[in-house]
Amino acid sequence: VKRPDSSSKARRTRTYAAPRGTLDILPEDEPYWRFVQAAAEETCRLFGYRRMETPMFEDVGLFSRTVGEATDIVEKEMYVFSDRGGQELALRPEWTANICRAYLQHGMHNRPQPVRVWYWGPTFRYQRPQAGRYRQFTQFGCEAIGEGDPSIDAECVEMAWDFYGRLGLRDLRIELSSIGDPTCRPAYQEALRSYYADKLDRLCADCQRRYDTNIMRLLDCKTDMDGPVTSRAPSILDHLCADCRDHFDALRSYLDEMGIPYTLNPRLARGLDYYTRTVFEITPPGEGSQSSLCGGGRYDGLIELLGSRPTPAIGFAAGLERTIATLRKQSTPVPPFPEPTAYVACQSSAAAAAALRLTSDLRKKGVSALAGVGGRSLKAQMRHANALGIRRVLILGEDELAKGTVTVRDMTTGEQKTVPRSKVAPLLTHRRP
Ligand code: HAM
């Protein structure tokens, strides 16, 4: 282990960067985040989902029990730590388990079912960083808990599709499958085991290990992705029991009726163990499931795993860094952040107090304004306003100070006009471009 150099010179010269796999959101990125959050809120409003939040960390057992001991997330991706009281906690690697924990803890099964909730916030996985894969990322997700009818599955897929449609992204694909339930899945897993038995040497080391612990993950093998072994593996869709088949057929007929396009992908292997029946992902054009924008599915057994009576549920979560990267890649227009309407410039430091007062009065009247500060020359203040993209400069020179007026300069046309100070706000609000 390399020890950090603690000499005083090293301490003085050390520079810091954000931890590997994390992302700073800069002011110029913010319009994208606002745009995406507005779209998420509108989708949730239209579908009647209410926002919910849970703590950023939870008992580590909550995740290992539900997400699954033999998953990448639990095996090697959780940020686990002991607090000073000795409790073992994990930064949330996903939200579904926490939402279900909260559903039980707050007796939400006594409310009208299904309980429809959404969430938005930081999520943590210790993964090898690469394009679109971070150690802290943001998920927007929705969960409908307490209803097993396939119409809720259709609602869930429709909702994710509505969100992406609202963003204006093009050429996305919904990949859909059913992974059966405890009635039919064991026989399918057996079929997979016999299929893979003599082909393990063609898979990655992780998959060779998972042959015994999590056979369905082999369908997602990184070495053989879309390769000859995986593509000829038995299909779960040929192994569904009658109930799972009916459920899946109903979902497909509802999606067809609503005109929501999807591609069947019987090899869709979600990275979490709690799924039953419906699973889906939304992927951007030209990329595989490793870069899904959004993923979800039904998890009818999860709440039972948490010690309560069986409660069917379904949901999805979208990764927002990837979503925003796709918006940028597709040059999707997003509303820009509106620059302040006015820049109050003063000719001498004698006018500084009057400039602050005028700026403050404008803000009280709902006009966004900045004051030129720091004793810059009038010319420098004009340049500053220009650099900030502010269209109107309000000049307080000696003459204006003496007469209680302001000179309003339009930086794009060069037009100037002097008006009484009380007339500035109405002038700006009426003529805002
Ligand atoms: P997930 O597929 O693990 O599902 O994650 C959902 C989305 O989060 C992914 O499609 C991806 O966009 C994003 N994501 C995941 N890991 C990363 C990462 N390291 N960096 C950037 N983005 C990432 C779940 O988390 C389930 N809880 C979804 C769900 C909700 N199922 C039912 N309800």
Please identify which residue in the block is written with the tokens 């420098």: 380
CA 88 to ligand 1 center in whole angstroms: 23
Residue nearest to atom 8 of ligand 1 (CA): 319
Q: What is the pLDDT of residue 431?
A: 52
**Least confident window among 148-157, 246-255, 266-275, 405-414:** 266-275
For residues 129 and 137, is the Cβ–Cβ distance under 8 A? no
Task: Return the ligand 1 atom nearest residue 93 CA.
Answer: 25
Rounded Cα distance, 266 and 29, in Å? 37
11: helix, strand or coil: helix
Task: Decide whether any atom of ligand 1 lies within 6 Å of the 363 Cβ.
Answer: no
Number of H helices, E strands in the chain: 16, 16
297 touches ligand 1 (CB under 6 Å): yes
H helices within 126-277, ranges in order? 150-167, 185-196, 205-213, 228-231, 242-258
Report pLDDT for 79: 98
Burial class (CB in 10 A: 0-12, 13-18, 19+), 196: buried
| Token couple for 203 | 């898979």
Ligand 1, closest atom to CA 95?
Answer: 27
Element (H, E) at 173: strand 173-178
Tokens of 31: 């319009």
State residue 4's pLDDT score.
59
Q: Which residues of 239-262 are buried (b: 16+ CB within 10 A; e: fewer)?
A: bbbeebeebbeebbebbeeeebeb
- DSSP assignment, residue 387? H
Adjacent-strand bridge partners of 263: 175
pLDDT at 424 over 90: yes
Find out whether the beta carbon of 294 lies less than 6 Å from any atom of ligand 1. yes
Among 94, 155, 169, 326, the mutation site with the greatest number of ligand 1 atoms within 8 A of its Cβ is 94
Say if CB 354 and CB 401 are below 8 A apart. Answer: yes
Distance 249 CA to ligand 1 centre (A): 26
Protein residue with least CA distance to atom 25, ligand 1? 94
Taking the mean position of all CA atoms in its chain, how far away is CA 346? 44
Q: Which helix (H) or strand (E) holds 51?
A: strand 50-51
DSSP 286: T
- Any idea what DSSP says for residue 74? I
| Confidence check: pLDDT of 224 > 90 | no
User: Quick one: pLDDT at residue 220?
Assistant: 81
Whether the link from the prior residue into 114 is cis, omega within 30° of 0, is yes
Q: Decide: 127 in ligand 1 pocket, CB within 6 A.
A: yes
pTM value surpassing 0.75: yes
Average pLDDT on 329-355 reads 93
Least confident window among 3-12, 157-166, 371-380: 3-12
Mutate to test the pocket of ligand 1, among 153, 156, 293, 322 (most ligand atoms within 8 A of CB): 322
The kind and range of the H/E element at 31 are helix 30-47
Q: What is the pLDDT of residue 203?
A: 84
pLDDT confidence bin for 432, thresholds 50/70/90 = very low
For the segment 176-191, the average pLDDT, to the nearest whole number, is 96
How far is the CA of 86 from the CAs of 81, 83, 312, 347, in angstroms?
9, 5, 34, 63
Atom of ligand 1 nearest to the CA of 133: 20
> What are the pLDDT digits (tens) for 5-17?
667 666 677 899 9
Q: What is the mean pLDDT of the chain?
A: 93
Instruction: Considering only residues 297 and 205, tell me which one the structure prediction assigns the higher pLDDT.
Output: 297
Cβ atoms of 92 and 56 closer than 8 Å: yes
Among 272, 278, 298, 320, residue to substitute to test ligand 1 (most atoms within 8 Å of Cβ) = 272
Separation between Cα atoms, residue 291 and residue 363, nearest integer Å: 45
For residues 139 and 217, the model is more confident at 139
138: Cβ–Cβ under 8 A, 6 or more apart, which residues? Answer: 120, 121, 122, 123, 319, 320, 321
Q: Is 310 in contact with 346 (CB distance < 8 Å)?
A: no
Measured between alpha carbons, how far is 48 from 199 in angstroms, rounded to an integer? Answer: 48
CA of 317 to the centre of ligand 1 (A): 6
pLDDT at 34: 97
Q: Which whole-number Å values give the CA distances from 170 to 86, 140, 328, 332, 334, in the listed order?
A: 49, 20, 12, 9, 15
So what's the pLDDT on residue 433?
45
Query: For ligand 1, is residue 322 a contact (CB within 6 Å)?
Result: yes
Give yes or no for a contact between 196 and 218, defined as CB atoms under 8 angstroms apart: yes
Residues 334, 328 contacting (CB under 8 angstroms)? no
What pLDDT, on the 0 to 100 scale, is given for residue 297?
A: 98
Residue environment code for 353-375, b if the CB has 16+ CB neighbours within 10 A, otherwise e: ebbeebbebbeeeebebbbbeee
What is the rounded CA–CA span in Å between residue 422 and residue 429?
Answer: 13
pLDDT tens readout for residues 72-86: 999 999 999 999 999
Q: What is the mean pLDDT of residues 399-426?
A: 95
**For position 312, what pLDDT does the model report?**
98
Q: How many angstroms does the Cα of residue 271 sit away from the middle of ligand 1?
A: 9
Q: For residue 364, what pLDDT is reported?
A: 96
Can you tell me the mean pLDDT for 82-110?
Answer: 98
- pLDDT for position 6: 62
What is the Å distance from ligand 1's center to 94 Cα? 7
Going by C-alpha positions, the residue among 144, 179, 139 that lies closest to residue 159 is 144
Which pLDDT band, with edges at 50, 70 and 90, does 3 fall under? low
